[in-house]
Structure formats: C-alpha cells, structure tokens
C-alpha cells in the first residue's frame, strides 16, 4: 500500500455530521467515527440523549439539537459545524421515522410525517452539506434507505415511498456532484437491531439480524475509500436471512 493510500484512509483529521445520533444506528455511527478520531457533529431532537453520547464519546463530539424537517434548524446546525471546524468531509443521514399501517388506513398526517422525516430532512441536510463540501472539491454523503426502498413492503406504503425517494434523490445527487469530487452512497440495510433488543454478548453469532455496529463498520469502510473509488449502492443483509 502506498503512503498516499494510507493518508486517504486515515480519518483522524476529518469532520463528520451524523443525523439521528441520539439512538440506534446514528448513535453507533457517531460513536464509531469519534472513536477513529474524527470530529463529529451529532444531530438529533433529543438533547439529553446527545449529552449522554458526548460524555461517552469524548470532546471530539459536538452535540447539536435540531428538527431536521425545519429548514432554519438544519441551516443553523451546519453553521455550527462551519464555525467550529470550517469544513465537512462526511455526512451520514440515519435519522428517520417508521410506520406499519395499511395504505387504506394511512392518514395524510402519517404521509407528511414519513416524507418529512425520511425524505425532506435528507434533502435539506444534503443541500447544506454540499455547500460546505464543494469548496474542497471532495466529500462523502451516506444516505440510509432500507430494503423497503428497493422492493416495497406490504403495509408500509408511506415508509417505502419515502425511502424510494431517498434513493432517487441520492442517485440524482451522485451524478450532479461527481464533477465536484463529492460521492453519494446509499445503504439498504435489512432488519437492524436499532432498539437494542438483542443481547449480543449472549448471542454473538446471530445471523438473522444486523447490529447497529455492523452498519457503523460499513460506513467506516465507505469513509475510508480513496477519493477515486465509489460504491453508490450497498445492500446489507444478515448472513442467515
């Protein structure tokens, strides 16, 4: 491996913003990135959980409270990153909402909630990230979709529509931003133990479900890719599924 490759793979001098960082996948990703020495802006609506994460992860983690469906709050969060570090190398969009409900029983309020949390928030954060990444002509965006964003799932119409939207947005951005050196990846996780129901210490060999750390390790892999290497779509399945 050349010295240039080692430099590209090192994360210690880079900055990241992770949404949905108060719990689940986002929390695991923020913890993993900070553990690699990255400066991490951890964004979520729940300030107390973010403060717990900041105490756990150390001084390189900046907790930011924001409702990502509100344009002005998204802009304010990125302004904090700009003021603190002056750059952004990695955006991970893991915030979102989930709903199981037959289409005939899905209200317009349900629809707006899912589209807002899963698609509008992703658009707003990607737009702000590009404004920070473009001057450096490099950066990585990782948008987390779902298996439901590939195939559709019964009784999850609003959720799947929002996650299909994330895919369309990401693919369009990938083409638009390629000349600026900015990469856009989409992850499609299968079932993830986001709520922490599996005792992994007692069941380390589970093959039917992913852990949040599995997803975090995949994002670390994407963050370490050389600037010339892209992996636009990546499906994550448990080995036994």
Query: Which whole number is the average pLDDT over 201-213?
Result: 83
Domain at 3-97+125-147+171-236, CATH from 3.30.460.10, 3.40.640.10, 3.40.50.10860, 3.40.50.720: 3.40.50.720
How far is residue 112 CA from its own chain's centroid? 21
Active site residues: 159
DSSP per-residue string spanning 49-112 = HHHHHHHHH-TTEEEEE--TTSHHHHHHHHHHHHHHHS---EEEE-------B-GGG--HHHHH
Rounded distance between C-alpha atoms, residue 170 and residue 77, angstroms: 21
pLDDT at 202 over 90: no
SS3 197: coil
SS3 138: coil
pLDDT of residue 205: 80
pLDDT at 2 over 80: no
Query: Which whole number is the average pLDDT over 199-221?
Result: 86
In this prediction the pTM is 0.92
pLDDT of residue 149: 85
pLDDT tens, position by position, 7-28: 456 788 899 999 999 999 999 9
Which residues are CB-contacts of 113 (< 8 A; sequence separation ≥ 6)? 97, 99
Rounded distance between C-alpha atoms, residue 57 and residue 148, angstroms: 32
**Token output for 207:** 């093959």
């Amino acid at each position: 491996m050349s010295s240039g490759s080692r430099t590209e793979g090192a994360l210690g001098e880079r900055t990241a913003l992770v949404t949905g960082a108060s719990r689940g996948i986002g929390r695991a990703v923020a913890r993993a990135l900070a553990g690699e020495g990255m400066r991490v802006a951890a964004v979520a609506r729940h300030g107390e959980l973010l403060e717990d994460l900041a105490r756990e992860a150390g001084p390189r983690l900046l907790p930011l409270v924001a409702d990502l469906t509100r344009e002005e709050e998204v802009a304010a969060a990125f302004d904090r990153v700009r003021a603190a570090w002056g750059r952004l190398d990695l955006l991970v969009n893991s915030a979102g909402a989930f709903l199981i409900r037959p289409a005939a029983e899905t209200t317009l309020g349900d629809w707006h909630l899912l589209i807002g949390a899963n698609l509008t928030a992703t658009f707003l954060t990607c737009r702000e990230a590009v404004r920070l990444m473009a001057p450096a002509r490099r950066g990585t965006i990782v948008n987390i979709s779902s298996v439901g964003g590939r195939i559709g799932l019964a009784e999850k119409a609003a959720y799947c529509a929002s996650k299909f939207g994330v895919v369309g947005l990401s693919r369009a951005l990938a083409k638009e931003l390629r000349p600026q050196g900015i990469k856009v990846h989409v992850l499609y996780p299968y079932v993830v133990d986001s709520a922490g129901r599996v005792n992994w210490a007692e069941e380390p060999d589970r093959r039917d479900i992913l852990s949040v750390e599995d997803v975090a390790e995949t994002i670390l892999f994407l963050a370490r890719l050389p600037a010339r290497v892209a992996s636009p779509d990546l499906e994550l399945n448990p080995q036994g599924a």
